[in-house]
Structure 1
Amino acid sequence: MRIAIIGKGNVGSAIAYGLKGKRHSVTLGVRNPQAAATQELAVAAGARTASPQDAAAAADIVILALPWAAAETAVKALGDLSGKIVIDCTNPLGMVDGSLGLTVGHSNSGGEIVQGWLPSSHVVKTLNQVGAEVMADKSGLPLRPVMFMAGNDDIAKTQVAALLTDLGFEAFDAGDITRARILEPYALVWINQALLRGKGRNWAFAAVSRKENQDG
């Protein structure tokens, strides 16, 4: 698939590294495609570079790897994404009552807001539930980490699930885009343990199923 990653921060870079050698054509959509640091990243990740608009226009899947504060302006500058699959990796984080928290919740979500900005696109909320280190590299993990997704279009989610599998995740469908209301707080569980409770960043959630009783 042709994949555009909009943003080259920790998450965008990690996804690019995670997709290296996985049969996809990856383009980094950045404001200055010729910058030395961007070219260095592109070579290391086996990706191309282009402006965000050009990268998105040529892609089958557009991945939004952006800070929430910059997301609306950046998304609306991408041009017409009608019919495209758009993966929303963002979490609507900000300072709430003096600590890091979600600025949107309960009756809305960042994923639903992004879908509202792109009413003719197939937005799938995912890749927001773990740190960049695990997105880039799953080596050393005893189990395949789980990654939930939420979106309104089943065909789009099937393609996103395949991409998540290529990235080394076990893809779980959480339901329609309103289920982003539970996936974004779920991301805060990881953030709390990783950054505030001392667990560090090199871990992820996994889904463990009980084996069927073969003798019964």
Structure 2
Amino acid sequence: MSGQSGYRARTKLGHWINEIEETVIALLLGLMTLVTFVNVVLRYGFNQSLIWGLEVTLILFAWLVLFGIAYGFKVTAHLGVDALINIIPSRPRRMLSLLAAAVCLVYALLLLKGAWDYWAPFAALQPTDGRWLPTGFAEGVRDRAFYTTDQVPMLGMFRWLEDLINYGDEYEKLPRVIPYAMLPFACAMIVFRLVEATIGLIKGERESLIVSHEAEDAVADAAALNKD
């Protein structure tokens, strides 16, 4: 899944993390397909349905998108327009790439703050103070730990959350804190991958944050095959 980026982990830990990322993305996509397929078979073959199937599919799709954003930065898979950048000399082009990376990093940090502030009340935690930068934690914000999903049944493996954040009350459905946890996690991964990409730009290991020259690479690959 590394695409055209040629991404290679430099350490065993990096290789291990890379394998986990790709496995998680594959599992999310596979589970979405499986749940949808089973629901279609039940609906048209047995006039039944998984009442929670659509909601689970939506959650998995949201996880896939959010997790995939960070992965895209790692393997340089995000699309962009570089027609203007490519006519600029090498040194100014690199400076513009670093500027773009800095802007993206600032935006990602704002997303991380917003993601935490949105998710925290569902985990019986406090959001941060400050409109742009966190200046501390707010006080007196009513928690939303009792909010549950609409149809997804509660899983036994998460019953410990009832005592931890729901004052011992039982959950009839899966609490929203679980699917919403992907928000701060994915944003943190985006920040991490942007920092990693920016370091790569500084070291000259990559040219930009976006994938480019797809057509040229495809033509070159085809020419190389024809020569063989």
Q: TM-score range by the shorter chain?
A: under 0.3
Structure of greater relative contact order (alpha carbons < 8 Å, 6+ residues apart): 2
Q: Which has the larger radius of gyration?
A: 2
TM-score by length of 1: 0.26
Query: Higher helix fraction: Structure 1 or Structure 2?
Result: 2
